[in-house]
Amino acid sequence: MLIRRNRLGESPEREVTDPALYLRRREFVVGAGLAAGALLLPGCGRAGDQGGPAAAAKSTDSPDGFRTSEEETPFEKATAYNNFYEFGTDKEDPKENSGSFVPKPWSVAIEGEVAKPGTLALEELVPAAAIQERIYRMRCVEAWSMVIPWRGIPLADVLKRFEPSSRAKYVSFRSVLRPEQMPGQRRNVLEWPYREGLRIDEAMHPLALLASGMYGRDLPNQNGAPLRLVLPWKYGFKGIKSIVSIRLQETQPETTWSMAAPDEYGFYANVNPAVDHPRWSQARERRIGEFAKRPTLPFNGYGEQVASLYAGMDLRKNF
Ligand SMILES: Nc1nc2c(c(=O)[nH]1)N[C@H]1C(S)=C(S)[C@@H](COP(=O)(O)O)O[C@H]1N2
Ligand SMILES: [Mo]
């Protein structure tokens, strides 16, 4: 096991409201042997597999789900173990290969079924004064998880400004296409640009966040700079990075992973321990930095907030 000390010194605070605190945070422990093995398929890799007894963490979320008090994943882990296939398929590739990506200036087009379409600069779309902090669990479909403090604004607040029409039943998102800055896009591992989608009521849910930062600072390139989606009740692949287009539409959008492997990755992708991935169990997960696995919770522990969105739906069919 490798033990490192934050070079800016240790700080025992659990307080998270002051962004500066993140930068001089505590001593942390980096678990050894966390790197995933070779990814043979672009099918989001293989499930993490560390044995050991299940360690159930008691959930101590705020009632709105906006903040969990579970221990945050160290910044150094959350920025060095990433899925961002535009920069390569290994977990360490995004950090290694995203150094020459230029996330600013940036603008985002809001298009389709809205009364006021437009292309806005990032700073207009996500004004600094409106930024909130959320501390969410993040559960990758590969059965590993993290706890990440995000900065951003509710997606609903953004969408409402453009006045969606009654035909706006879904929201479609696209990532940037820049093969010259994104080496992974020079290979056909996925259909580029990466795309994702939500039903409009999911997009309007208060937990859905458009994030421009994490750990009290701007998003690092490998985490989806300068703007990405965060949907804590869904598998991580729904959290599309480096967004350039948001389109309101009447029909269900195409999504990258369900185009690549429709039997493995559905449109909804709600975290569900009762529905296994065809190649691995979803019943448990490995929290990055821990060795034992813990049980996975329905909707990643956000059922109280989001389960009603799916009332009456067969969640095995709509996986
Ligand atoms: N554009 C784009 N967005 C993406 C991905 C990707 O490859 N490209 N990977 C997804 C997956 S599988 C996960 S688990 C999360 C990982 O986010 P993180 O690296 O910030 O933890 O980003 C998601 N968003
Ligand atoms: Mo993922």
In this structure, the number of other CB atoms found within 10 A of the CB of residue 231 comes to 28
Domain parsing of the chain, residue ranges: 13-103+128-163+176-190+207-239+252-310
**CA-closest residue to ligand 1 atom 14:** 236
Indicate if ligand 1 lies below 6 Å from the C-beta of 240: yes
CA distance 191 to 34: 28
CB 278 within 8 A of CB 264: yes
pLDDT recorded at residue 58? 57
Q: Please name the residues in contact with 181: beta carbons below 8 A apart, sequence gap of 6 or more.
A: 100, 101, 102
Q: How far is CA 256 from CA 26, 94, 237, in A?
A: 38, 18, 9
Count, residues in the chain:
319
Q: Please name the residues in contact with 285: beta carbons below 8 A apart, sequence gap of 6 or more.
A: 48, 139, 143, 144, 145, 293, 294, 295, 296
Per-residue pLDDT of the chain (319 residues; tens, 9 = 90+): 333 322 222 222 222 323 333 333 322 222 333 333 333 333 354 444 433 344 444 578 999 999 999 999 999 999 999 999 999 999 999 999 999 999 999 999 999 999 999 999 999 999 999 999 999 999 999 999 999 999 999 999 999 999 999 999 999 999 999 999 999 999 999 999 999 999 999 999 999 999 999 999 999 999 999 999 999 999 999 999 999 999 999 999 999 999 999 999 999 999 999 999 999 999 999 999 999 999 999 999 999 999 999 999 999 999 9
CB 304 within 8 A of CB 233: no
The model's pTM is 0.85
Q: How far apart are the CA of 85 and the centre of ligand 1, in A? A: 8
Q: How far apart are the CA of 166 and the centre of ligand 2, in A? A: 32
Range list of H helices, the chain: 20-23, 75-78, 93-97, 122-125, 155-161, 200-203, 256-260, 303-306
Q: Specify which residues 29 forms β-bridges with.
A: 3
- Rg of the chain over Cα atoms, rounded to whole angstroms, equals 19
Q: How far apart are the CA of 66 and the centre of ligand 1, in A? A: 21
Virtual CA dihedral for 23, 26, 27, 31, nearest 10 degrees?
A: -80
**CA-closest residue to ligand 1 atom 10:** 237
CA distance 285 to 54: 9
Judged by DSSP in three states, 32 sits in coil
Ligand with smallest separation from the Cα of 86: 1
pLDDT recorded at residue 265? 97
Indicate if ligand 1 lies below 6 Å from the C-beta of 300: no
User: Given the CA of residue 257, which atom of ligand 1 is nearest to it?
Assistant: 12
Q: How far apart are the CA of 257 and the centre of ligand 2, in A? A: 10
CATH topology for 13-103+128-163+176-190+207-239+252-310 is Sulfite Oxidase; Chain A, domain 2 (3.90.420)
**CA-closest residue to ligand 1 atom 11:** 237
pLDDT recorded at residue 21? 34
